[in-house]
């Protein structure tokens, strides 16, 4: 009897050896289907036969799996696994179940239903459906998606654009990649709905060049579905690797062939965006949520979540964690449940020291804060941010002062240079943290020693003085930077200083409370 084996062709699965496992099954006479990933990354390569999972599998396990003797790596029915069964998958409902570029699979699982309903409702009603859903930008800012759409729809112009920000550069984030590699038609449908609702006929997916598998699948899917989304026309553009191009105005400059540099606002991109025309710039996850909203109605989406954070969030668990992967659930779940119950704690088995949420510019949260619900406002209240939903776990051996230094170093390396607080402040931040860690307070330089420099320090700075200076520098960067790169860099620095002052060599640190 011919056996059909399903194995993911997700980039992470391939990196773990999925291609070799697939070839071994084909050599053994099995039929292999390459599908999207379930998101249980610690089990990749994950093999599925008639709904039963085996992982992580190697080519040496193939015969035992076919003979029914691979009990050691059998996880039982995949859909019933606690990691999957506990999720509320709206965006990732097809994950692990469909062939990524198969139009037949997409249509058979509800594909294009949202686009068809949008066309029935009309542009204005489609916009209001997104407004009523409560969907907020999943790229980090959390701005209401429907309000942005309404602004562009109301703008008068001969040409409008839909731009998908797929420049996924945050640490511990891979949800965008999984959408593009595993369910590209869903993203295309979301962009087509946005184009119809706002009156835009052209769209661009700005994808980072480090995602070659995603780019290849997107281009294939765009070609196959062109007749369905017509007259909307889509193109994929590759970024050149600049982190700052994840900021929407830098991205637009890059798309136009200019230097990836932040633009001052106003005007906002919704009014003066790509090539000076009204432009919707949304993240992959924001656009990927739209087909469900239009297909099932705004209420079905808004019924999930808490407060102003409606719907679900595909949370990405990474770092020093036992069960890393993608976990989509409604807003409101606690960080402790995500890290300890779902993620299984640290991979090393050591106690969790801290968790960074929101990428390299996100705050470090202490285990004492693990009862905070996953909610935009709840995180903002403690000077933290959800960002793109990436969670990086650190065990007790982590040097949090070193991580704070990395935040400043990262900002210095990735700054576009447009504004002084980010360009100069990050470099001075690295120097300042180095002096704190080296216990080498800075002495006065030649200029500071001049008699006319009345406000310059007259004595060598103490360690407390240096800490105070670091806090002052962070405040300047936070409120004076032109974009979130410089504005959010203080979050990891100040949270590390607040929760782990001993790593900086001080007993306690008086870190200011979250600013309104």
Predicted local distance difference test score (pLDDT) of residue 484: 84
Q: Residue 98: which of 238, 216, 217, 192 has the closest Cα?
A: 217
Predicted local distance difference test score (pLDDT) of residue 516: 38
Q: How far apart are CA 25 and CA 2, in angstroms?
A: 11
Secondary structure of 391-436 as H, E, C letters? EEEEECCCCHHHHHHHHHHHHHHHCCCCCHHHHHHHHHHHHHHHHH
C-beta of residue 500 within 8 angstroms of C-beta of residue 509: no
In the chain, what is the greatest distance between 2 CA atoms, to the nearest angstrom?
A: 93
Predicted local distance difference test score (pLDDT) of residue 514: 44
Percent of residues, the chain, with pLDDT higher than 90: 76
Secondary structure of residue 276 in the 3-state scheme: helix
Predicted local distance difference test score (pLDDT) of residue 299: 95
Predicted local distance difference test score (pLDDT) of residue 453: 78
User: What domains does the chain contain, in order, with CATH numbers?
Assistant: 4-85 (3.40.30.10), 103-302 (3.40.50.11540), 305-395 (3.10.20.600), 400-504 (1.20.1440.230)
Tens digits of residue pLDDT in 291-347: 999 999 999 999 999 999 999 999 999 999 999 999 999 999 999 999 999 999 999
Predicted local distance difference test score (pLDDT) of residue 240: 85
Q: Residue 136 — very low, low, confident or very high, per pLDDT cuts 50/70/90? A: very high
Query: What is 136-184 written as a DSSP string?
Result: B-TTTT--BHHHHHHHHHHS--S--EEEEEE---STT--HHHHHHHH-H
Q: Residue 469 — very low, low, confident or very high, per pLDDT cuts 50/70/90? A: confident
Predicted local distance difference test score (pLDDT) of residue 242: 86
Check whether 458 has a pLDDT greater than 90: no
Tracing tokens 């066309």 back to the chain, one arrives at 119
Predicted local distance difference test score (pLDDT) of residue 147: 95
Tens digits of residue pLDDT in 195-221: 999 999 999 999 999 999 999 999 999
C-beta of residue 375 within 8 angstroms of C-beta of residue 134: no
Predicted local distance difference test score (pLDDT) of residue 438: 84
Predicted local distance difference test score (pLDDT) of residue 510: 58
Q: Residue 375: which of 325, 330, 318 has the closest Cα?
A: 330
- List Cα–Cα distances, 220 to 22, 180, 254, 467, in angstroms: 22, 11, 24, 53
Tracing tokens 């990050």 back to the chain, one arrives at 426
Which of 80-84, 400-404, 501-505 holds the top average pLDDT?
A: 80-84
Please state the φ and ψ torsions of residue 447, each to the nearest 5 degrees: -70, -45
Which of 224-228, 306-310, 358-362, 511-515 holds the top average pLDDT?
A: 224-228
**How far apart, in Å, do the first and last CA atoms of the chain sit?**
66
> Out of 343-352, 404-413, 461-470, 505-514, which region has the weakest mean confidence (pLDDT)?
505-514
Predicted local distance difference test score (pLDDT) of residue 389: 92
> Out of 121-125, 164-168, 251-255, 417-421, which region has the weakest mean confidence (pLDDT)?
417-421
Predicted local distance difference test score (pLDDT) of residue 491: 92
Which residues partner with 239 through β-bridges? 208
- Note the pTM of the prediction, 2 decimals: 0.92
Q: How far apart are CA 75 and CA 80, in angstroms?
A: 9
Q: Residue 515 — very low, low, confident or very high, per pLDDT cuts 50/70/90? A: very low
């Amino acid at each position: 009897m011919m056996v059909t084996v399903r194995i993911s062709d997700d980039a992470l699965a391939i990196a773990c050896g999925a291609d070799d496992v697939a070839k071994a099954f084909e050599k053994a006479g099995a039929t292999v289907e390459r599908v999207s990933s379930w998101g249980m990354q610690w089990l990749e390569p994950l093999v599925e036969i008639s709904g039963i999972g085996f992982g992580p599998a190697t080519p040496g396990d193939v015969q035992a799996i076919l003979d029914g003797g691979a009990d050691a790596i059998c996880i039982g029915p995949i859909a019933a696994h606690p990691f999957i069964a506990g999720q509320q998958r709206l965006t990732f409902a097809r994950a692990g179940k469909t062939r990524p570029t198969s139009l037949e699979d997409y249509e058979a699982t509800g594909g294009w239903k949202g686009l068809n309903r949008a066309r029935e409702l009309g542009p204005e009603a489609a916009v209001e459906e997104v407004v009523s859903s409560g969907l907020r930008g999943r790229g980090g800012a959390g701005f209401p998606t429907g309000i942005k759409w309404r602004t562009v729809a109301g703008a008068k112009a001969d040409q409008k654009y839909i731009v998908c920000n797929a420049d996924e550069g945050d640490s511990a984030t891979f949800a965008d990649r999984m959408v593009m590699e595993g369910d590209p038609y869903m993203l295309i449908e979301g962009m087509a709905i946005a184009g119809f609702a706002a009156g835009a006929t052209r769209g661009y997916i700005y994808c980072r060049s480090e995602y070659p598998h995603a780019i290849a699948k997107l281009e294939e899917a765009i070609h196959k579905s062109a007749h369905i989304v017509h007259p909307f026309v889509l193109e994929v553009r590759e970024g050149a690797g600049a982190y700052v191009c994840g900021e929407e105005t830098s991205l637009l400059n890059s798309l136009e062939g200019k230097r990836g540099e932040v633009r001052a606002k106003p005007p906002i991109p919704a009014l003066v965006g790509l090539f000076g025309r009204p432009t919707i710039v949304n993240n992959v996850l924001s656009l990927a949520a739209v087909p469900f909203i239009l297909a099932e109605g705004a209420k079905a989406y808004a019924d999930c979540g808490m407060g102003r954070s409606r719907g679900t969030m595909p949370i990405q668990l990474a770092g020093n964690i036992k069960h890393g992967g993608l976990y989509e659930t409604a807003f409101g779940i606690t960080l402790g449940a995500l890290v300890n119950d779902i993620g299984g704690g640290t991979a090393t088995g050591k106690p969790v020291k801290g968790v960074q949420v929101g990428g390299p510019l996100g705050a470090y949260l202490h285990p004492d804060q693990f009862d905070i619900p996953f909610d935009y406002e709840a995180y903002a209240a403690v000077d933290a941010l959800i960002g793109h939903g990436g969670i990086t776990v650190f065990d007790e051996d982590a040097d949090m002062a070193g991580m704070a230094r990395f935040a400043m170093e990262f900002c210095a390396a990735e700054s576009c240079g447009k504004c002084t607080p980010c360009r100069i402040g990050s470099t001075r931040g690295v120097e300042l943290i180095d002096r704190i860690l080296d216990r080498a307070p800075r002495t006065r330089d030649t200029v500071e020693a001049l008699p006319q420099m009345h406000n310059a320090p007259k004595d060598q700075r103490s360690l407390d003085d240096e800490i105070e200076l670091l806090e002052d520098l962070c405040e300047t960067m936070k409120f004076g930077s032109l974009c979130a790169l410089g504005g959010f860099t203080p979050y990891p620095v100040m949270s590390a200083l607040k929760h782990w002052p001993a790593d900086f060599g001080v007993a306690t640190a008086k870190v200011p409370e979250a600013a309104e």
